[in-house]
Structure 1
Amino acid sequence: MLDSFTVCRIESILDGYIHEKVPAPLRTMVKLTYRMDQNELILTEERPAQERYRWDKLDIARFEWDEHRWKVFAKDKHDCWDTVDAIQPCQHFEDLLEQVERDEAGVFWR
């Protein structure tokens, strides 16, 4: 389980990332959110649903803290989480987030 300092640091990193990633004029059309649960974090893209005041959610990436390092996962064609072999596990969350942003393997931002 992540300690409270690490949780606050990761939340700060993600809040800054999301603020920069989605320009203010577009925030009514798309937003990035995340949810954390123990040693796992899921980054999600949301867009307005056809039903008023609702948002459709699409999971982008899953980060997992395991054995003192972060691992990153992407959804496969069956909508199941699968490790991204092109991204090696790392101790620094922000390094993996940067690799997800670059998405050189083309598995996150379709």
Structure 2
Amino acid sequence: MTLIEERQGYESDQWVQMPVAQFRLGENEWKIYWQDSKGKWHFIDDIEPNEDFETQLKIVDEGHNGMFWG
């Protein structure tokens, strides 16, 4: 599941969609991934996998040291 941010483009009336984070369920735990400039997703190893999706979503929403909302 990929979290997408949608915002108005710079000096444009068009809306732009940008991936923010990706959540993957494995072994009954949600893991969070970030996307590099080439479109490849990487596991964020300093965020512990968690069975509760809402907990992981809150981590992303709060920004995790500026990683997601900059």
Q: Specify if TM > 0.5.
A: yes
1:97 Cα shift?
0.8
Greater share of residues in strand: 2
Give the 5 Å matches for 1:1-110: 41-49=1-9, 50=12, 52=13, 54-110=14-70
The unaligned stretches of length 5 or more in structure 2 are none
More helix by share: 1
TM normalised by structure 1 equals 0.54
Report the structure number with the largest CA radius of gyration.
1
Which amino acid is 2:67 matched to?
V
Q: Given residue 82 of structure 1, which amino acid in structure 2 is its aligned partner?
A: H
Partners of 1:77 and 1:56 in 2: CA distance: 16
Structure possessing the higher relative contact order (Cα contacts under 8 Å, 6 or more residues apart): 2
Write the deviation string for residues 39-60 of structure 1: whole angstroms up to 9, x where unpaired. xx1111111243x5x4211100
Kept in 2: contact 1:46–1:56 (CA 8 A): yes
Unaligned runs of 5+ in 1: 1-40
What is the aligned-residue identity percentage?
32
